[in-house]
Amino acid sequence: MTQPGPRGPASEHAAALPDRLADVQARIAAAATDHGRAPADVRLIAVSKGQPVAAIEAAWTAGQRDFGENYVQEWQAKAAALAHLPDLRWHFLGHLQRNKGKLVLGRVAVLHSVDDMVGIDALARAAHEAHVAQDVCLQINLAEETSKRGCTADDAELFCDVLLRSPGLRLRGLMTLPPPRDAAEFARPWFARLRTLRDRLARTLAGRPGVPPPHDWWLSMGMSGDFEVAIAEGATHVRVGTAIFGPRA
Ligand SMILES: *Cc1c(COP(=O)(O)O)cnc(C)c1O
């Protein structure tokens, strides 16, 4: 491996990061305002998978506090290296193998990727044993892609029901990853569908203990290529990686 020199890729990267972060923040604020929403109602999660610890630290220095990771080992190493940064909140976005749940529970702010029944069961037991109440989003595979995880829209109510009966897991909302397309507009129908599903669940589950209030169900949707469209369709959490950090290693 060659060491990047002072003017090599690594330093260019570090110099541009605060600008890119500010640009994403400005675009989030504009998209929210354009759709009659308060910018503060959209939380930016900087997706740092595949990025070095130094990049996360640079984003933190620029004011970013929420970071998303997908892989347990990578996240653990980064969390240990950055334990000195106050207020840093981790969001776990990846599939969690059954035996890994206990490593993440209570150590991340939100687990966005609750995606299968067996997983919920194992996670609920681990949360109970660890005496934690973990905020979670249910991942929905709207297009029913075999390459993706998540429950179908039809099964969402059943999954929510199981989550609501799991004291250690606090259902906060829904998450989705639409089929990848070049144009952001292709994602809009999927984002709209997640919002409609959220509205339906909020109605049918209203009043059950542990159900978020109707106005406070989260929608975790939108990435670098389409977060403005997601905000237009109601996203409360956008997960943005490359637009902030540049390409992943
Ligand atoms: C990697 C990833 C993102 C960020 O993707 P970008 O296109 O780099 O913004 C968002 N959400 C999930 C679940 C991811 O795995």
DSSP string, 117-130: HHHHHHHHHHHHHH
- At 154-185, the pLDDT tens digits run 999 999 999 999 989 999 999 999 998 888 89
Query: ∠ CA 15-17-22 to the nearest 5 degrees?
Result: 125
Residue nearest to atom 4 of ligand 1 (CA): 241
In the structure encoding, which two tokens stand for residue 176, read together?
């989705």
Percent of residues, the chain, with pLDDT higher than 90: 88
Rg (CA), the chain: 18
Q: Give me the residue spans of the domains in the chain.
A: 12-17+44-245
Instruction: Find the residues whose C-beta lies inside 6 A of ligand 1.
Output: 47, 49, 70, 93, 177, 223-224, 239-243
pTM listed for this prediction: 0.93
CA of 227 to the centre of ligand 1 (A): 11
Residue closest to 241 by CA, chosen among 227, 228, 229, 223: 223
Kindly report, residue by residue over 180-210, the tens digit of the pLDDT. 888 889 999 999 999 999 999 999 999 999 9
12-17+44-245 — its CATH code? 3.20.20.10
Q: Tell me the pLDDT band of 8, cut-offs 50, 70 and 90.
A: very low
In 135-210, where does DSSP find H-type helix?
156-164, 188-204
